[in-house]
Each structure stands twice: as C-alpha cells, then as structure tokens.
Amino acid sequence: MQGAPSLLCYAAHKMRHPGFIRSIQHPRASQATTFPQQRLSSLSQTTQLSQTTNRNENMPSYIVTCKQGATDEQVNSAKEHAKSQGGTITHEYNLIKGFAVKFDEDAIIALEAHEHVESVEADGEMRIQ
C-alpha cells in the first residue's frame, strides 16, 4: 500500500489546518494534484445558490391580484417589483390579473403598496361548508 502514507499525511494535515484543500497526494500518483482556484470558487457559488433556493422554498406563498383595469404591462410591472424585493413567481393566472409568488413576510407591505396591486392574500386551500 504505497499511497497510504500520503493519505495519512493529508488527513493529519487536514485536521491541523481545516482550510487546507489546495493539494492532495493521490495513492497512484507520483505528484500532488492541485485543484484550480476556479473550481473551488464555483463550488462556493453552488453552495450559495443552494442556500438561496432553500430560503425561497421556506417562504410563504401569496396570491397577488392586480387592479381590475390593469394592462399586461402593469401586471408585469407588479411581477418585476415582487422579484426585485426577493420574491419568486410560482404561477401566473389568466382568468384574473394576478400571480402567485413566494415572498418574505417582512417585505409584503412593499408589495401591497405597489400602484397596480389590488390585494395580496396568503395562498392556501379554501373550503366551502
């Protein structure tokens, strides 16, 4: 087991220096393998994207209804406003001028104040008794 000492040295070094990840000794290689810095930064970006996606999944969903006479451009303006405030459009409605959005509860007042928005209601199941 010729490569074992190299892996043991790597493990020992990793424990003493948690930030060490730039080079390791492969058991069958005669030289250290160096990871390019670009690869490490893309891993970091992937992690950030994953955290953002998880945050959006945990946000409550709302039904946004635009004013009765709102044009398509005005509805799009309301959607863009929701996106700029951190919302994610999950559905667009054709029968009513509106859309569903996952949105942070703290920012809902800004969405309600938009000039083309008639109402913002929590999305959920409704029943008739």
- Characterise 101 by phi-psi region: left (phi > 0), alpha (psi -120 to 50), beta (else): beta
CATH code where residue 103 lies = 3.30.70.80
Give the count of domains, the chain: 2
Question: Whole-model pTM?
Answer: 0.55
Task: From 55, 73, 97, give the residue that closes a domain.
Answer: 55
* Shared-domain flag, residues 67 and 17: no
pLDDT digits (tens, 9 = 90+) for 46-90: 444 444 444 456 789 999 999 999 999 999 999 999 999 999 999
90 belongs to a structural domain: yes
The first and second tokens of residue 109, run together, are 């007042």
Provide the residue count of the chain: 129
Task: From 55, 73, 95, give the residue that closes a domain.
Answer: 55
pLDDT digits (tens, 9 = 90+) for 82-128: 999 999 999 999 889 999 999 888 888 999 999 999 999 999 887 88
* Shared-domain flag, residues 14 and 44: yes
Range of the domain at 111: 59-122
* Shared-domain flag, residues 77 and 115: yes
Distance CA 113, CA 117 (A): 7
